[in-house]
Amino acid sequence: MMKKTVLATAILTLSQLPTALAPVAAEEVSTERHKVSINTLASGLSHPWGMTFLPSGDLLITERGGDLHKVSLDGTISDPIKNVPEVVAERQGGLLDVTLDPDFANNNMIYLSYSEAAQDGGTGNSTAVARAELAGDSLQNVEVIFRGVPKYESNAHFGSRLVFSPEGHLFITLGDRYSAMDDAQLLDNHHGKVVRIWPDGSVPEDNPFVDRDDALDTIWSYGHRNVQGAAIHPQTGELWISEHGPKGGDEINISLAGENYGWPEATYGVDYDGTIISKKTHLEGAKQPHYYWVPSIATSDIIFYTGDKFPDWQGDLFVAALRGSHVARIDLEGERVMHEETLFDEAIGKRIRDIEQGPDGYIYVITDQPKDAELIQIKPAN
């Protein structure tokens, strides 16, 4: 998941929509373990959703409306990259996550998740994943490697994060499509599931449901609500995920092969109008959350910090929050949760859509606004 401290004026091409920021001094913030400097590097993005670092040090950042940009740490935002797949950009749908192929240095392949309309003239939409070769300012050889089934009439709960396992599998996290929440307990659809495939879209022979006629062989785990964060644990290699609860009950889960995580039969939350979804917080045969929040913070992406710039944070889980407008640091000993610290709620105070660790060991976040959304760098104050 590898996804200076002077704030430079954003240097933009004349054809860019984003507008250059006036220079603003970095803000220093004390936390329980480190004093940090918060620096806005770029502004002018529109609902950015996912980001990943290129070997050059630039980032690829998606915008939910359907554009993919290269963004440099001096604030330059490129024109939209050409040949991005067409997306259904309505409400929560659009261009979502982006990640690099593990062998990107040799093949220049990237992967994009997005909401896709029905291809056969039918109705509905679903989360899809495409891979393509990044060639300058264009994508080439675009190939759809995954399409969620069924296509469904909803503009909510698409997931979706993309993360590679140490063995090279591609995990795709998905949502229950909101009004199809009961499907999360059924294995004949992709609603409320985590999917595991090979980079070409083929199915690993050891997927948990490959031998069942009543189940989709791409499913890794099920019983999820809306999984918008994913990271590989640096020691165990297991997939950790964050998922939105309804009103209360946001969860951190360790997604294991074939396991059921209970939604909507068990939850620590209620519906947005206060009505009961389920009286159960436990479901026989289902996994309990590894950690959960009541009230909700609206979790987005997660990372494990593994760099050397913040030694007292090594091994901790960082959870970006939308409604909470902060980053939650989950202090871990191994997999055991010891403590939670709220970070940057006053210094940033905006919905945080994605969080990544840069190759420089600093932490980067993007905020979620319809315009003037920001790329922010968090580094040691000294």
Residue 335 lies in a domain: yes
Inside any domain, residue 8? no
Could you say which of 69, 157, 190, 191 is catalytic?
A: 157
Give 161-196 as a DSSP string.
-EEE-TTSPEEEE-B-TTTTGGGGG-SSS-TTEEEE
Q: Is residue 196 part of a domain?
A: yes
Q: Is residue 52 part of a domain?
A: yes
Q: What is the DSSP string of 290-305?
A: SEEESS---EEEEEE-
Task: Report if residue 10 sits inside a domain.
Answer: no
Q: Is residue 262 part of a domain?
A: yes
User: What is the Rg, in whole angstroms, of the alpha carbon atoms belonging to the chain?
Assistant: 20
Within a domain: 225: yes
Q: What is the pLDDT along the chain (382 residues), one digit of tens a residue?
A: 333 222 333 333 333 444 344 344 589 999 999 999 999 999 999 999 999 999 999 999 999 999 999 999 999 999 999 999 999 999 999 999 999 999 999 999 999 999 999 988 889 999 999 999 999 999 999 999 999 999 999 999 999 999 999 999 999 999 999 999 999 999 999 999 999 999 999 999 999 999 999 999 999 999 999 999 999 999 999 999 999 999 999 999 999 999 999 999 999 999 999 999 999 999 999 999 999 999 999 999 999 999 999 999 999 999 999 998 999 999 999 999 999 999 999 999 999 999 999 999 999 999 999 999 999 999 999 8
Count: domains in the chain: 1
Contact 283/260 with Cβ under 8 angstroms? yes
CATH number of the domain at 105, please.
2.120.10.30
CA–chain centroid gap for 314, Å, is: 21
Contact 140, 133 (CB under 8 A): yes
Q: State pTM to two decimals.
A: 0.92
Strands, sheet with 27-30, edge to edge from the N-terminal-most edge strand = 27-30, 35-45, 373-380, 363-367, 352-357
In a domain, 369, yes or no: yes
| CA end-to-end distance (rounded Å), the chain | 26
Query: Containing domain of residue 318, as a range?
Result: 27-380
Residue 157 is a catalytic residue: yes
What is the amino acid identity at position 113? Answer: S
Exposure on the CB side of residue 332, measured as CA atoms within 13 A:
23
**What does the DSSP assignment read for 219-271?**
EEEE--SBEEEEEE-TTT-PEEEEE--SBS-EEEEEE-TT-B--TTTS-S-B-
